[in-house]
A and B are shown apart, each in its own frame.
Chain A
Amino acid sequence: MTAMAGAIARGEVGGRLWFYANYHCNLRCTYCLTESAPEVTRRELGREQIVERAREGRELGFTALGVTGGEPFVLEYMPELIAALGSELPTIVLSNATVFNDRRLREMEPLADLPVQVQISLDRPDPDDNDAMRGPENFRKVVEAVPKLVERGIGVRIATTLEDPDAADPHEMERLCDLHRSMGIPDEDHVVRPIISRGRAMSNDMGVLAGFEQLEPELTLTADGAFYSPFAPTVRGGELDTDLLVSRTTKPVREPAEMLARIAGSRPAGNDASIGIR
């Protein structure tokens, strides 16, 4: 067993190895951690680089992979990349599901035979409320895309991000759950999490604070380096946050993985993912 596999088995480090595929996005959500938008610098990690690091991650003992951004699916190669990653380890890819045209959906069909899930953001059961945070037509595009993915046998999760999940209107949440169930998504594939006060959310005075003590250590590789968590490589005022930077080195993966394990081992006892950000 490698040192990383041991740290994962003991629960000291999360088993999922995350990749920021890119930073640009077709949307401009009000709570975006990375200030993503159409005009921002792409900062792609690169298809071959991701696959290479994923393979090393599997050898090191990581048990799952994750891909986020930006919007990963604005990159032409994303369906093929996710298929390659899904052939290595169970993979989740986060998406806004607004770029899934017929051609894209056809390209994604091979994902149905792999341990792959597409995690799609849907925050509110009403189009106007949802689109106020995520942009015009977002709700319509999501509720059109999700059934098409489900029909093709592709795994889908719905992620709902709220200012304060504990204060959410239960009737509204019930309508949201009715909606995802109607699209073929069971309750176990619906996650609700708080807005994290980093990036644009912090600029907009939204969300809960999340730092070293609150976040679970999950190695996250980006074009700018390795970070402590997928909630770490955030951007505010156009500047990359470095408070949760682990290293600029991302290859070999063993190096940032060992540094992350060392950091995780230094956390005060009792600290864990106390705000349940998944």
Chain B
Amino acid sequence: MVALIDAEQAPILARPYYAGEGPPSPITASLAHVPEVLEATLPFVGRILGPTAIDLRAKEIVILRTSALMECRYCVEAHTTVALDSGLSVGEVCALRGEREVEAVFTNRDELALISWVDEVALGRGAAPEDITARAREVMGDPELVEMTLVVAATLMLNRYCSALGLPTSAATLARLAEEGLA
């Protein structure tokens, strides 16, 4: 759909985002077409989806669940491996991907409330129903609720971006998925 810019053609302001080992992610390599947008987007996404006061396991529940609801192939594949690395089991990953019943796998009250909140934010229209909001408020204070809601919103943005542009999953991710039986 769009050309991915390699390191040789990376604009000057995009080069710091190419500095890691291996090729840049397709998100970086596509955003590099517009360096001023890349400069704003990648720190924003990194801050919201990366380490904060909320632990990575909870964030990956949100990201993977949202991506599965939005049927974003790229994000589901990429975050399946991240979720496994964040401590989620294969069964939990399958449940978040919609391949198993969530309630059959997740038993923690906080995580079940979080998944309900994610489902509502990602798929709902208008204000959230009172019962789902109340359930979320029982397990999340204002800071957590704000941040988790923003994680869903940022993931939705990336889901549409990656799906619409048909970004390719890296060979390394595909190999890992095959190895885990999650391809």
Please list the residues of chain A having a beta carbon within 8 angstroms of any beta carbon in chain B.
212, 228, 241-249, 255, 259, 262-263
Contacts and interface: CB of A to CB of B under 8 A. Distances in A.
A265 to B, nearest CB: 12
Contact of B12 (A212, A241, A248, A249): A212
A242 B36 contact: no
Given A243-B10, A243-B11, A248 B36 contact: yes
A244 B9 CA distance: 8
B91 interface: no
Most chain B CB within 10 A, of A228, A245, A248, is at A245
B150 interface: no
A247 B10 CA distance: 12
B13 A242 contact: no
A241 B36 contact: no
B33 interface: yes
A247 B12 contact: no
B5 interface: yes
Contacts of B37: 248
Most chain B CB within 10 A, of A242, A247, A262, is at A242
A241 B9 CA distance: 6
Contacts of A246: 11-13, 35
Nearest to A217: B12
B9 A263 contact: no
Contacts of B12: 212, 228, 243-246, 263
B136 interface: no
Given A244-B11, A248-B34, 14 more contacts: A242-B5, A242-B33, A243-B12, A245-B12, A245-B35, A246-B12, A247-B34, A247-B35, A248-B33, A248-B35, A249-B36, A255-B36, A259-B36, A263-B13
B9 to A, nearest CB: 5
A197 to B, nearest CB: 14
B8 interface: yes
A249 B34 CA distance: 9
Interface pairs A-B: 6 shortest CB-CB:
A245-B11, A247-B36, A242-B9, A248-B34, A243-B9, A263-B12
A22 B123 CA distance: 47
Contact of A259 (B8, B13, B32, B33): B13
B8 to A, nearest CB: 7
B34 A242 contact: no
Most chain B CB within 10 A, of A243, A248, A255, is at A243
A242 B34 CA distance: 10
A255 B13 CA distance: 14
A228 B32 CA distance: 15
Contacts of B32: 242
B80 to A, nearest CB: 32
